[in-house]
Structure 1
Protein backbone atom coordinates (compact mmCIF):
# COMPACT_ATOMS: atom_id res chain seq x y z
CA UNK A 1 0.00 0.00 0.00
CA UNK A 2 1.40 3.41 -0.90
CA UNK A 3 0.32 6.91 -0.04
CA UNK A 4 0.91 9.97 -2.17
CA UNK A 5 2.27 13.43 -1.49
CA UNK A 6 1.75 16.24 -3.47
CA UNK A 7 -0.36 17.03 -19.78
CA UNK A 8 0.54 15.39 -22.43
CA UNK A 9 3.36 12.92 -22.67
CA UNK A 10 5.88 12.20 -25.42
CA UNK A 11 5.96 8.41 -25.49
CA UNK A 12 8.45 8.04 -28.35
CA UNK A 13 11.36 7.41 -25.98
CA UNK A 14 9.48 4.90 -23.79
CA UNK A 15 10.80 1.34 -23.89
CA UNK A 16 8.56 -1.56 -22.93
CA UNK A 17 9.65 -4.34 -20.59
CA UNK A 18 11.63 -7.23 -21.99
CA UNK A 19 9.76 -10.54 -21.76
CA UNK A 20 9.47 -12.99 -20.13
CA UNK A 21 11.30 -11.19 -17.32
CA UNK A 22 9.59 -8.16 -15.78
CA UNK A 23 12.94 -6.56 -14.93
CA UNK A 24 14.56 -4.27 -17.50
CA UNK A 25 16.08 -0.83 -17.89
CA UNK A 26 13.66 1.95 -18.66
CA UNK A 27 14.39 4.85 -20.96
CA UNK A 28 13.35 8.36 -20.01
CA UNK A 29 9.73 9.45 -20.41
CA UNK A 30 9.66 13.08 -21.44
CA UNK A 31 6.80 15.51 -20.90
CA UNK A 32 6.57 19.22 -21.61
CA UNK A 33 8.62 20.05 -18.50
CA UNK A 34 9.81 16.81 -16.94
CA UNK A 35 12.02 13.80 -17.43
CA UNK A 36 11.10 10.57 -15.65
CA UNK A 37 13.93 8.10 -15.16
CA UNK A 38 15.02 5.18 -13.04
CA UNK A 39 16.45 6.23 -9.71
CA UNK A 40 20.21 5.78 -9.27
CA UNK A 41 22.45 5.00 -6.33
CA UNK A 42 23.83 8.54 -6.41
CA UNK A 43 20.31 9.94 -5.81
CA UNK A 44 20.47 8.76 -2.19
CA UNK A 45 21.23 12.11 -0.54
CA UNK A 46 18.61 14.02 -2.54
CA UNK A 47 15.86 11.46 -1.86
CA UNK A 48 16.75 11.24 1.83
CA UNK A 49 16.70 15.03 1.98
CA UNK A 50 13.14 15.50 0.80
CA UNK A 51 11.82 12.40 2.56
CA UNK A 52 13.06 13.81 5.87
CA UNK A 53 11.22 17.10 5.30
CA UNK A 54 8.31 17.15 7.81
CA UNK A 55 6.07 18.80 5.21
CA UNK A 56 6.68 15.86 2.85
CA UNK A 57 6.70 12.98 5.32
CA UNK A 58 3.71 14.02 7.47
CA UNK A 59 1.17 11.76 5.75
CA UNK A 60 3.53 8.97 4.71
CA UNK A 61 4.69 5.76 6.39
CA UNK A 62 8.40 5.48 5.59
CA UNK A 63 10.81 5.26 8.57
CA UNK A 64 12.04 8.50 10.12
CA UNK A 65 14.68 9.68 10.03
CA UNK A 66 14.98 8.45 6.46
CA UNK A 67 18.70 7.85 6.00
CA UNK A 68 20.97 7.34 3.02
CA UNK A 69 21.41 3.76 4.26
CA UNK A 70 17.62 3.27 4.05
CA UNK A 71 17.72 4.40 0.44
CA UNK A 72 20.69 2.16 -0.46
CA UNK A 73 19.13 -0.91 1.19
CA UNK A 74 15.84 -0.34 -0.63
CA UNK A 75 17.66 0.39 -3.91
CA UNK A 76 19.56 -2.90 -3.75
CA UNK A 77 16.52 -4.87 -2.60
CA UNK A 78 14.56 -3.63 -5.62
CA UNK A 79 17.06 -4.69 -8.24
CA UNK A 80 19.68 -1.97 -8.15
CA UNK A 81 17.75 0.57 -10.20
CA UNK A 82 16.22 -1.76 -12.76
CA UNK A 83 12.52 -1.37 -13.32
CA UNK A 84 10.36 -4.11 -11.81
CA UNK A 85 6.71 -3.22 -12.23
CA UNK A 86 5.48 -6.35 -10.49
CA UNK A 87 7.39 -5.60 -7.28
CA UNK A 88 6.88 -1.84 -7.53
CA UNK A 89 9.43 0.82 -8.34
CA UNK A 90 10.04 4.56 -8.05
CA UNK A 91 10.84 6.74 -11.06
CA UNK A 92 12.75 9.94 -10.44
CA UNK A 93 11.16 13.23 -11.53
CA UNK A 94 13.65 15.68 -13.02
CA UNK A 95 13.10 19.36 -13.81
CA UNK A 96 15.90 20.86 -15.90
CA UNK A 97 18.13 17.96 -14.90
CA UNK A 98 17.47 18.34 -11.16
CA UNK A 99 15.80 15.53 -9.21
CA UNK A 100 12.77 17.00 -7.40
CA UNK A 101 10.75 13.90 -6.47
CA UNK A 102 9.61 10.49 -7.58
CA UNK A 103 6.59 8.57 -8.84
CA UNK A 104 5.80 5.14 -7.45
CA UNK A 105 4.28 2.56 -9.79
CA UNK A 106 3.36 -1.08 -9.36
CA UNK A 107 1.51 -3.06 -12.01
CA UNK A 108 0.31 -6.65 -11.79
CA UNK A 109 -2.10 -8.30 -14.23
CA UNK A 110 -3.01 -4.92 -15.69
CA UNK A 111 -3.85 -3.32 -12.31
CA UNK A 112 -1.59 -0.40 -11.45
CA UNK A 113 -1.03 1.39 -8.16
CA UNK A 114 0.37 4.92 -8.29
CA UNK A 115 1.86 7.38 -5.84
CA UNK A 116 4.05 10.49 -5.91
CA UNK A 117 6.40 12.39 -3.64
CA UNK A 118 7.74 15.87 -4.34
CA UNK A 119 10.22 18.03 -2.49
CA UNK A 120 8.60 21.06 -0.88
CA UNK A 121 10.01 23.65 -3.37
CA UNK A 122 8.68 21.56 -6.28
CA UNK A 123 5.12 21.40 -4.98
CA UNK A 124 2.39 23.63 -6.36
CA UNK A 125 3.68 23.67 -9.96
CA UNK A 126 1.68 20.77 -11.40
CA UNK A 127 4.69 18.45 -11.61
CA UNK A 128 2.98 15.55 -9.82
CA UNK A 129 0.00 15.76 -12.18
CA UNK A 130 2.23 15.90 -15.25
CA UNK A 131 4.37 12.98 -14.08
CA UNK A 132 1.45 10.78 -13.02
CA UNK A 133 -0.39 11.45 -16.28
CA UNK A 134 2.70 10.42 -18.24
CA UNK A 135 3.04 7.17 -16.31
CA UNK A 136 -0.64 6.32 -16.79
CA UNK A 137 -0.39 6.85 -20.53
CA UNK A 138 2.78 4.77 -20.68
CA UNK A 139 1.10 1.92 -18.79
CA UNK A 140 -1.92 2.04 -21.09
CA UNK A 141 0.06 2.20 -24.33
CA UNK A 142 2.85 -0.23 -23.49
CA UNK A 143 1.64 -2.52 -20.68
CA UNK A 144 -2.08 -2.90 -21.34
CA UNK A 145 -3.05 -1.61 -17.90
CA UNK A 146 -6.82 -1.59 -17.40
CA UNK A 147 -7.22 -0.22 -13.85
CA UNK A 148 -5.38 2.43 -11.83
CA UNK A 149 -5.70 3.22 -8.15
CA UNK A 150 -4.08 5.30 -5.42
CA UNK A 151 -4.53 5.48 -1.66
CA UNK A 152 -3.90 8.57 0.43
CA UNK A 153 -4.46 10.16 3.79
CA UNK A 154 -7.97 11.68 4.00
CA UNK A 155 -6.45 15.09 4.82
CA UNK A 156 -4.13 15.07 1.81
CA UNK A 157 -6.11 17.48 -0.37
CA UNK A 158 -3.16 18.20 -2.68
CA UNK A 159 -2.76 14.54 -3.64
CA UNK A 160 -6.52 14.12 -4.01
CA UNK A 161 -6.46 16.94 -6.53
CA UNK A 162 -3.66 15.21 -8.45
CA UNK A 163 -5.76 12.03 -8.63
CA UNK A 164 -8.69 14.05 -9.91
CA UNK A 165 -6.60 15.95 -12.45
CA UNK A 166 -5.46 12.73 -14.14
CA UNK A 167 -9.00 11.34 -14.31
CA UNK A 168 -9.36 9.28 -11.16
CA UNK A 169 -12.55 9.50 -9.11
CA UNK A 170 -13.17 8.90 -5.43
CA UNK A 171 -14.00 5.24 -4.87
CA UNK A 172 -14.01 4.55 -1.11
CA UNK A 173 -13.03 5.64 2.38
CA UNK A 174 -11.88 2.65 4.41
CA UNK A 175 -11.93 3.11 8.17
CA UNK A 176 -8.83 2.35 10.27
CA UNK A 177 -7.31 0.50 7.33
CA UNK A 178 -3.81 2.00 7.11
CA UNK A 179 -0.98 1.34 9.62
CA UNK A 180 0.28 4.88 10.22
CA UNK A 181 3.15 5.90 12.47
CA UNK A 182 0.79 6.67 15.33
CA UNK A 183 -1.67 3.83 14.90
CA UNK A 184 -4.36 2.78 12.45
CA UNK A 185 -5.68 5.51 10.15
CA UNK A 186 -8.48 5.93 7.64
CA UNK A 187 -7.52 5.50 4.00
CA UNK A 188 -8.91 7.37 0.98
CA UNK A 189 -9.08 5.48 -2.32
CA UNK A 190 -9.17 6.91 -5.85
CA UNK A 191 -9.38 4.80 -9.00
CA UNK A 192 -10.22 4.70 -12.69
CA UNK A 193 -10.49 2.09 -15.40
CA UNK A 194 -8.86 2.35 -18.78
CA UNK A 195 -12.26 3.31 -20.22
CA UNK A 196 -12.55 6.05 -17.59
CA UNK A 197 -9.12 7.34 -18.59
CA UNK A 198 -9.99 7.32 -22.29
CA UNK A 199 -13.16 9.29 -21.57
CA UNK A 200 -11.23 11.74 -19.40
CA UNK A 201 -8.46 12.48 -21.88
CA UNK A 202 -10.96 12.89 -24.73
CA UNK A 203 -13.26 15.30 -22.85
CA UNK A 204 -13.71 18.78 -24.36
CA UNK A 205 -11.21 21.29 -22.94
CA UNK A 206 -11.84 24.31 -25.14
CA UNK A 207 -13.93 27.31 -24.21
CA UNK A 208 -17.41 26.48 -25.54
CA UNK A 209 -18.86 28.49 -28.40
CA UNK A 210 -22.31 28.70 -26.79
CA UNK A 211 -23.25 28.70 -23.10
CA UNK A 212 -26.96 28.82 -22.22
CA UNK A 213 -29.04 28.83 -19.07
CA UNK A 214 -31.85 26.30 -19.48
CA UNK A 215 -35.00 25.85 -17.44
CA UNK A 216 -35.23 22.67 -15.42
CA UNK A 217 -38.24 20.40 -15.52
CA UNK A 218 -39.31 16.75 -15.69
CA UNK A 219 -37.57 16.35 -19.06
CA UNK A 220 -34.06 17.21 -17.84
CA UNK A 221 -33.92 17.43 -14.03
CA UNK A 222 -32.53 13.90 -13.61
CA UNK A 223 -29.81 14.60 -16.18
CA UNK A 224 -28.64 17.67 -14.31
CA UNK A 225 -28.92 15.86 -11.00
CA UNK A 226 -26.13 13.53 -12.16
CA UNK A 227 -23.62 16.37 -12.45
CA UNK A 228 -20.81 16.04 -9.92
CA UNK A 229 -17.79 17.95 -8.71
CA UNK A 230 -14.51 16.36 -7.73
CA UNK A 231 -14.55 14.75 -4.31
CA UNK A 232 -12.02 17.29 -2.99
CA UNK A 233 -14.49 20.07 -3.88
CA UNK A 234 -17.43 18.65 -1.93
CA UNK A 235 -16.62 20.74 1.14
CA UNK A 236 -16.78 23.83 -1.10
CA UNK A 237 -19.77 23.08 -3.36
CA UNK A 238 -23.02 21.39 -2.35
CA UNK A 239 -23.94 18.30 -4.42
CA UNK A 240 -26.88 18.45 -6.80
CA UNK A 241 -29.20 16.41 -4.59
CA UNK A 242 -28.68 18.95 -1.79
CA UNK A 243 -29.44 21.88 -4.09
CA UNK A 244 -32.65 20.22 -5.25
CA UNK A 245 -33.61 19.52 -1.64
CA UNK A 246 -32.91 23.10 -0.55
CA UNK A 247 -34.92 24.45 -3.48
CA UNK A 248 -37.85 22.21 -2.53
CA UNK A 249 -37.59 23.02 1.18
CA UNK A 250 -35.97 26.50 1.31
CA UNK A 251 -34.67 27.86 4.58
CA UNK A 252 -36.35 30.72 6.41
CA UNK A 253 -34.33 33.94 6.43
CA UNK A 254 -35.54 37.21 7.96
CA UNK A 255 -38.93 35.67 8.61
CA UNK A 256 -39.65 34.38 5.11
CA UNK A 257 -38.59 31.40 2.97
CA UNK A 258 -35.91 31.99 0.37
CA UNK A 259 -37.25 31.86 -3.20
CA UNK A 260 -34.98 29.77 -5.45
CA UNK A 261 -34.32 30.63 -9.10
CA UNK A 262 -32.39 27.79 -10.72
CA UNK A 263 -31.13 26.94 -14.18
CA UNK A 264 -29.07 24.25 -15.82
CA UNK A 265 -25.90 25.40 -17.56
CA UNK A 266 -25.53 24.04 -21.07
CA UNK A 267 -22.22 24.22 -22.98
CA UNK A 268 -22.38 23.59 -26.72
CA UNK A 269 -25.58 21.64 -26.18
CA UNK A 270 -24.25 19.46 -23.35
CA UNK A 271 -25.30 19.69 -19.66
CA UNK A 272 -22.27 21.11 -17.89
CA UNK A 273 -23.35 22.87 -14.70
CA UNK A 274 -25.99 24.31 -12.42
CA UNK A 275 -26.69 27.75 -10.97
CA UNK A 276 -29.22 28.80 -8.35
CA UNK A 277 -30.03 32.24 -6.95
CA UNK A 278 -31.95 33.28 -3.89
CA UNK A 279 -34.26 35.60 -5.79
CA UNK A 280 -35.29 39.09 -4.72
CA UNK A 281 -38.41 39.33 -2.55
CA UNK A 282 -39.89 41.81 -0.11
CA UNK A 283 -37.88 40.16 2.66
CA UNK A 284 -34.71 39.61 0.61
CA UNK A 285 -34.02 42.81 -1.36
CA UNK A 286 -30.63 41.81 -2.81
CA UNK A 287 -30.07 38.84 -5.16
CA UNK A 288 -27.79 36.13 -3.79
CA UNK A 289 -25.79 33.55 -5.73
CA UNK A 290 -26.79 30.48 -3.77
CA UNK A 291 -25.17 27.71 -5.79
CA UNK A 292 -22.77 27.36 -8.71
CA UNK A 293 -21.59 23.90 -9.75
CA UNK A 294 -19.59 22.94 -12.84
CA UNK A 295 -19.32 19.23 -13.56
CA UNK A 296 -15.86 17.72 -13.01
CA UNK A 297 -15.48 16.92 -16.71
CA UNK A 298 -16.24 20.50 -17.79
CA UNK A 299 -14.14 22.53 -15.37
CA UNK A 300 -11.42 24.96 -16.50
CA UNK A 301 -13.31 25.80 -19.71
CA UNK A 302 -14.63 29.22 -18.70
CA UNK A 303 -18.17 27.89 -18.31
CA UNK A 304 -18.74 29.23 -14.80
CA UNK A 305 -17.65 32.71 -15.82
CA UNK A 306 -19.88 32.64 -18.91
CA UNK A 307 -22.86 31.43 -16.88
CA UNK A 308 -22.45 34.20 -14.31
CA UNK A 309 -22.26 36.76 -17.12
CA UNK A 310 -25.70 35.54 -18.26
CA UNK A 311 -26.99 35.73 -14.70
CA UNK A 312 -25.67 39.29 -14.42
CA UNK A 313 -27.44 40.25 -17.67
CA UNK A 314 -30.71 38.93 -16.29
CA UNK A 315 -30.29 40.79 -13.00
CA UNK A 316 -29.37 44.06 -14.70
CA UNK A 317 -32.42 43.70 -16.92
CA UNK A 318 -34.55 43.44 -13.78
CA UNK A 319 -33.01 46.63 -12.42
CA UNK A 320 -30.60 45.12 -9.89
CA UNK A 321 -27.16 46.60 -9.40
CA UNK A 322 -25.39 44.13 -7.08
CA UNK A 323 -25.07 40.41 -6.48
CA UNK A 324 -23.92 38.72 -3.29
CA UNK A 325 -22.43 35.29 -2.64
CA UNK A 326 -20.21 33.52 -0.13
CA UNK A 327 -17.38 31.03 -0.29
CA UNK A 328 -15.28 28.73 1.89
CA UNK A 329 -11.62 29.60 2.29
CA UNK A 330 -8.79 27.06 2.29
CA UNK A 331 -7.10 24.76 -0.25
CA UNK A 332 -8.99 24.78 -3.54
CA UNK A 333 -11.23 27.67 -2.47
CA UNK A 334 -13.19 29.40 -5.26
CA UNK A 335 -12.20 32.76 -3.80
CA UNK A 336 -9.74 33.61 -6.64
CA UNK A 337 -12.47 32.84 -9.18
CA UNK A 338 -14.97 35.18 -7.54
CA UNK A 339 -12.45 37.94 -6.92
CA UNK A 340 -11.38 37.77 -10.56
CA UNK A 341 -15.01 38.46 -11.49
CA UNK A 342 -15.10 41.51 -9.24
CA UNK A 343 -16.55 40.14 -5.99
CA UNK A 344 -15.18 41.99 -2.98
CA UNK A 345 -15.39 40.61 0.59
CA UNK A 346 -17.83 42.64 2.65
CA UNK A 347 -16.20 41.75 5.95
CA UNK A 348 -19.15 39.59 6.98
CA UNK A 349 -18.93 35.88 7.76
CA UNK A 350 -22.04 33.75 7.20
CA UNK A 351 -21.99 30.26 8.68
CA UNK A 352 -18.19 30.19 8.39
CA UNK A 353 -18.17 31.46 4.80
CA UNK A 354 -16.75 34.75 3.52
CA UNK A 355 -19.46 37.01 2.10
CA UNK A 356 -18.68 38.92 -1.10
CA UNK A 357 -20.50 41.40 -3.31
CA UNK A 358 -20.03 42.46 -6.93
CA UNK A 359 -21.38 45.55 -8.67
CA UNK A 360 -23.14 44.49 -11.86
Structure 2
Protein backbone atom coordinates (compact mmCIF):
# COMPACT_ATOMS: atom_id res chain seq x y z
CA UNK A 1 0.00 0.00 0.00
CA UNK A 2 2.64 2.57 1.08
CA UNK A 3 6.40 2.23 0.74
CA UNK A 4 9.11 4.30 2.40
CA UNK A 5 12.88 4.04 2.09
CA UNK A 6 13.01 1.10 4.52
CA UNK A 7 9.44 0.09 5.27
CA UNK A 8 6.25 -1.22 3.75
CA UNK A 9 2.89 -0.17 5.19
CA UNK A 10 0.04 -2.51 4.30
CA UNK A 11 -3.16 -3.92 5.72
CA UNK A 12 -2.77 -6.71 8.23
CA UNK A 13 -2.97 -10.28 6.95
CA UNK A 14 -3.42 -13.63 8.70
CA UNK A 15 0.28 -14.50 8.76
CA UNK A 16 0.99 -11.37 10.84
CA UNK A 17 -0.54 -12.89 13.97
CA UNK A 18 2.69 -13.82 15.79
CA UNK A 19 4.45 -10.54 14.97
CA UNK A 20 1.46 -8.52 16.19
CA UNK A 21 1.23 -10.73 19.27
CA UNK A 22 4.87 -9.92 20.00
CA UNK A 23 3.93 -6.22 20.08
CA UNK A 24 0.68 -6.46 22.04
CA UNK A 25 1.75 -9.13 24.55
CA UNK A 26 4.36 -6.75 25.97
CA UNK A 27 3.17 -5.13 29.23
CA UNK A 28 5.23 -1.99 28.77
CA UNK A 29 3.93 -1.47 25.23
CA UNK A 30 0.34 -1.84 26.43
CA UNK A 31 0.81 0.28 29.55
CA UNK A 32 -0.78 3.36 27.93
CA UNK A 33 -3.08 1.60 25.46
CA UNK A 34 -6.77 1.07 26.07
CA UNK A 35 -6.44 -2.72 26.22
CA UNK A 36 -4.53 -5.09 28.44
CA UNK A 37 -1.61 -7.09 27.03
CA UNK A 38 -2.67 -9.96 24.84
CA UNK A 39 -2.17 -13.50 26.12
CA UNK A 40 -2.30 -16.98 24.63
CA UNK A 41 -6.02 -17.24 25.42
CA UNK A 42 -7.15 -14.07 23.68
CA UNK A 43 -4.56 -13.43 20.97
CA UNK A 44 -6.54 -15.02 18.12
CA UNK A 45 -9.79 -13.21 18.87
CA UNK A 46 -7.97 -9.91 19.51
CA UNK A 47 -6.06 -10.28 16.26
CA UNK A 48 -9.27 -11.00 14.31
CA UNK A 49 -10.64 -7.70 15.59
CA UNK A 50 -7.50 -5.90 14.42
CA UNK A 51 -7.74 -7.63 11.02
CA UNK A 52 -11.28 -6.32 10.54
CA UNK A 53 -10.03 -2.72 10.58
CA UNK A 54 -8.93 -2.71 6.97
CA UNK A 55 -10.68 0.23 5.32
CA UNK A 56 -10.10 3.85 6.28
CA UNK A 57 -13.46 4.80 4.83
CA UNK A 58 -15.35 2.33 7.04
CA UNK A 59 -16.59 3.10 10.55
CA UNK A 60 -13.86 0.84 12.01
CA UNK A 61 -10.99 2.61 10.26
CA UNK A 62 -7.68 1.21 9.13
CA UNK A 63 -4.85 -0.72 10.75
CA UNK A 64 -1.61 -0.86 8.81
CA UNK A 65 1.24 -3.26 9.46
CA UNK A 66 4.63 -1.58 9.45
CA UNK A 67 6.84 -4.18 7.79
CA UNK A 68 10.64 -4.37 7.84
CA UNK A 69 12.26 -7.32 6.07
CA UNK A 70 9.00 -9.34 6.13
CA UNK A 71 8.48 -8.74 9.87
CA UNK A 72 5.70 -6.59 11.32
CA UNK A 73 7.46 -4.18 13.67
CA UNK A 74 4.56 -1.83 14.29
CA UNK A 75 0.91 -1.05 13.80
CA UNK A 76 -0.42 2.30 12.60
CA UNK A 77 -4.12 3.06 12.96
CA UNK A 78 -6.23 5.77 11.36
CA UNK A 79 -9.94 6.44 11.60
CA UNK A 80 -12.31 9.23 10.69
CA UNK A 81 -13.66 11.40 13.46
CA UNK A 82 -17.10 12.98 13.49
CA UNK A 83 -15.63 16.26 12.25
CA UNK A 84 -15.54 16.84 8.48
CA UNK A 85 -12.27 15.84 6.77
CA UNK A 86 -10.61 14.96 10.07
CA UNK A 87 -8.98 11.74 11.26
CA UNK A 88 -7.20 10.47 14.33
CA UNK A 89 -4.10 8.31 14.25
CA UNK A 90 -2.50 5.92 16.71
CA UNK A 91 0.58 3.72 16.75
CA UNK A 92 2.26 0.86 18.58
CA UNK A 93 5.70 -0.53 17.86
CA UNK A 94 7.78 -3.52 18.84
CA UNK A 95 10.16 -2.32 21.56
CA UNK A 96 13.03 -4.24 19.93
CA UNK A 97 12.99 -1.78 17.00
CA UNK A 98 12.90 1.48 18.94
CA UNK A 99 15.47 4.22 18.50
CA UNK A 100 16.08 3.57 14.81
CA UNK A 101 13.63 6.04 13.28
CA UNK A 102 11.15 3.44 12.04
CA UNK A 103 8.16 4.90 13.90
CA UNK A 104 8.92 8.40 12.61
CA UNK A 105 9.37 7.16 9.04
CA UNK A 106 6.14 5.16 9.13
CA UNK A 107 4.01 7.83 10.82
CA UNK A 108 5.19 10.52 8.39
CA UNK A 109 4.25 8.25 5.50
CA UNK A 110 0.80 7.70 7.01
CA UNK A 111 0.27 11.46 7.34
CA UNK A 112 1.40 11.98 3.74
CA UNK A 113 -1.10 9.33 2.62
CA UNK A 114 -3.98 10.78 4.63
CA UNK A 115 -3.43 14.31 3.38
CA UNK A 116 -2.58 13.48 -0.25
CA UNK A 117 -4.88 10.51 -0.91
CA UNK A 118 -7.76 11.06 1.52
CA UNK A 119 -7.69 14.88 1.19
CA UNK A 120 -8.01 15.48 4.91
CA UNK A 121 -7.99 18.91 6.49
CA UNK A 122 -6.72 17.84 9.93
CA UNK A 123 -5.17 14.82 11.66
CA UNK A 124 -5.09 14.44 15.44
CA UNK A 125 -3.51 12.08 17.95
CA UNK A 126 -4.58 11.56 21.56
CA UNK A 127 -2.10 10.01 23.97
CA UNK A 128 -1.71 9.36 27.66
CA UNK A 129 0.34 12.27 29.00
CA UNK A 130 2.73 9.83 30.72
CA UNK A 131 3.64 8.30 27.35
CA UNK A 132 6.68 10.43 26.56
CA UNK A 133 7.66 8.30 23.54
CA UNK A 134 4.31 8.87 21.81
CA UNK A 135 4.36 12.59 22.58
CA UNK A 136 7.86 12.91 21.12
CA UNK A 137 6.84 10.95 18.02
CA UNK A 138 3.89 13.27 17.43
CA UNK A 139 6.21 16.25 17.61
CA UNK A 140 8.82 14.65 15.33
CA UNK A 141 6.21 14.13 12.61
CA UNK A 142 5.17 17.78 12.73
CA UNK A 143 2.20 17.69 15.06
CA UNK A 144 1.77 20.40 17.67
CA UNK A 145 0.48 19.83 21.19
CA UNK A 146 -2.86 21.58 21.37
CA UNK A 147 -4.13 20.45 24.75
CA UNK A 148 -3.23 18.86 28.04
CA UNK A 149 -6.37 17.59 29.72
CA UNK A 150 -6.05 16.82 33.43
CA UNK A 151 -7.47 13.51 34.66
CA UNK A 152 -9.95 13.43 31.80
CA UNK A 153 -9.84 9.74 30.92
CA UNK A 154 -10.63 6.70 33.06
CA UNK A 155 -8.45 3.78 31.97
CA UNK A 156 -7.30 0.63 33.72
CA UNK A 157 -8.63 1.69 37.10
CA UNK A 158 -7.29 5.24 37.22
CA UNK A 159 -7.88 8.75 35.94
CA UNK A 160 -5.21 9.74 33.43
CA UNK A 161 -4.16 12.98 31.75
CA UNK A 162 -4.30 13.26 27.95
CA UNK A 163 -2.31 15.18 25.38
CA UNK A 164 -3.95 16.14 22.10
CA UNK A 165 -1.69 16.70 19.10
CA UNK A 166 -2.75 17.89 15.64
CA UNK A 167 -1.50 18.98 12.24
CA UNK A 168 -3.35 20.67 9.37
CA UNK A 169 -2.92 19.83 5.70
CA UNK A 170 -1.45 23.25 4.95
CA UNK A 171 1.22 22.70 7.60
CA UNK A 172 2.69 19.68 5.81
- Number of residue pairs aligned between Structure 1 and Structure 2: 167
1:57 is matched with: 30
1:1-360 to 2 correspondences below 5 Å? 28-66=1-39, 67-75=42-50, 78=52, 82-86=54-58, 87-108=60-81, 109-197=84-172
Pair 1:59–1:170, CA change in 2 (3 A) = same
The whole-number CA distance in structure 1 between the counterparts of 2:93 and 2:121 is: 26
The whole-number CA distance in structure 1 between the counterparts of 2:134 and 2:75 is: 14
8 A Cα contact 1:107 1:145, kept in partner = no
Pair 1:96–1:55, CA change in 2 (3 A) = same
Give secondary structure in 1 for the equivalent of 2:67. Answer: strand
Over aligned residues, Cα RMSD in angstroms? Answer: 1.7
How far off its partner does 1:45 sit? 2.1
8 A Cα contact 2:62 2:78, kept in partner = yes
The whole-number CA distance in structure 1 between the counterparts of 2:46 and 2:16 is: 9
Which structure has the higher relative contact order (CA within 8 Å, separation 6+)? 2
Deviations 1:27-74 (A, max 9, x none): x20001110010012212221221111221111111333432233441
The whole-number CA distance in structure 2 between the counterparts of 1:65 and 1:138 is: 29
Deviations 1:334-357 (A, max 9, x none): xxxxxxxxxxxxxxxxxxxxxxxx
The whole-number CA distance in structure 2 between the counterparts of 1:29 and 1:130 is: 11
8 A Cα contact 1:147 1:194, kept in partner = yes
The whole-number CA distance in structure 1 between the counterparts of 2:103 and 2:33 is: 16
Give secondary structure in 2 for the equivalent of 1:191. Answer: strand
The whole-number CA distance in structure 1 between the counterparts of 2:27 and 2:157 is: 15
Pair 1:193–1:165, CA change in 2 (3 A) = same
The whole-number CA distance in structure 1 between the counterparts of 2:16 and 2:170 is: 36
The whole-number CA distance in structure 2 between the counterparts of 1:50 and 1:29 is: 21
- Whichever of the two has the greater Rg, that structure is 1
* Structure 2, unpaired ranges of 5+: none
